[in-house]
């Protein structure tokens, strides 16, 4: 027991020293980073082409330096207004799958966001003009939006999706031809 305790204390000290080193590096780089007004935070910092709050940047650096994922780890992330409530419900249901009977589950009675701790901070309102200007300048979490669009455009992804989903392509699929559909239904016994 004493050897285990000694190893645990040594590991905690190593982690603490590592965290301190990362935070010291972060504090040193902080004044050198480009700054911009944020959508959700008063100020964003640009690091490796991404705009992040100082809090998020510090956490990203700590994760890069110290997080060692295990094969069983599950990480769920979403941008705002992209299904957070739904993802919160899914995660809550999965994590608590053995804790509640599905007929009397808390998700039947409460909003998923009331069941999970989420970080929220009231920001001063941003005018449409300010938001539009920030968006056009590329000051946005996860990097400039237009860079993502151009990447997809340059990789011909948009063209491939348009061709794949075109009326011409979809209407010419074998499955949409009545004789092929009939043969498929007959062979499957439906």
In a domain, 24, yes or no: no
What total of structural domains would you count in the chain? Answer: 1
In a domain, 178, yes or no: yes
Q: What H or E segment, with its residue span, contains residue 57? A: helix 54-66
Query: Of 34-43, 44-53, 115-124, which gets the smallest average pLDDT?
Result: 115-124
In a domain, 187, yes or no: yes
In a domain, 188, yes or no: yes
In a domain, 190, yes or no: yes
Instruction: Give the model confidence (pLDDT) of 86-101 as tens digits.
Output: 888 888 888 777 788 7
In a domain, 27, yes or no: no
In a domain, 169, yes or no: yes
Instruction: Give the model confidence (pLDDT) of 45-72 as tens digits.
Output: 888 888 888 888 888 888 888 888 888 7
Q: Which domain holds residue 164?
A: 156-190
Give every CB contact of residue 28 below 8 A, 6+ residues apart in sequence.
none
For all residues of the chain together, what is the average pLDDT?
Answer: 75
What separation in angstroms does the CA of 143 have from each of 49, 69, 89, 94, 139? 6, 24, 28, 31, 7
In a domain, 101, yes or no: no
- Between vectors from CA 14 to CA 13 and to CA 19, what angle results, nearest 5°? 95
Q: How much is the pLDDT for 181? A: 54
Q: What H or E segment, with its residue span, contains residue 188? A: helix 178-188
């Amino acid at each position: 027991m004493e050897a285990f305790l000694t190893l645990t204390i040594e590991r905690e000290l190593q982690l603490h020293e590592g965290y301190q080193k990362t935070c010291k590096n972060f504090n040193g780089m902080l004044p050198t980073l480009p700054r911009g007004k944020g959508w959700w935070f008063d100020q964003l910092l640009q690091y490796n082409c991404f705009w992040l709050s100082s809090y998020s940047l510090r956490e990203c650096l700590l994760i890069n330096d110290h997080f060692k994922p295990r094969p069983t780890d599950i990480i769920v992330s979403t941008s705002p207004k992209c299904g957070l409530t739904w993802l919160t419900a899914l995660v809550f249901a999965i994590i608590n799958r053995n804790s509640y009977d599905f007929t009397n589950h808390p998700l039947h009675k409460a909003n998923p966001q009331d069941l999970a701790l989420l970080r929220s901070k009231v920001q001063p309102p941003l005018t449409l003009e300010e938001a539009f200007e920030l968006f056009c300048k590329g000051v946005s979490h996860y990097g400039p939006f237009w860079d993502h669009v151009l990447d997809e455009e340059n990789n011909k992804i948009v063209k491939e999706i348009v061709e794949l989903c075109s009326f011409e392509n979809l209407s010419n699929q074998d499955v949409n031809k009545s004789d092929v559909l009939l043969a498929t239904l007959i062979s499957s016994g439906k």
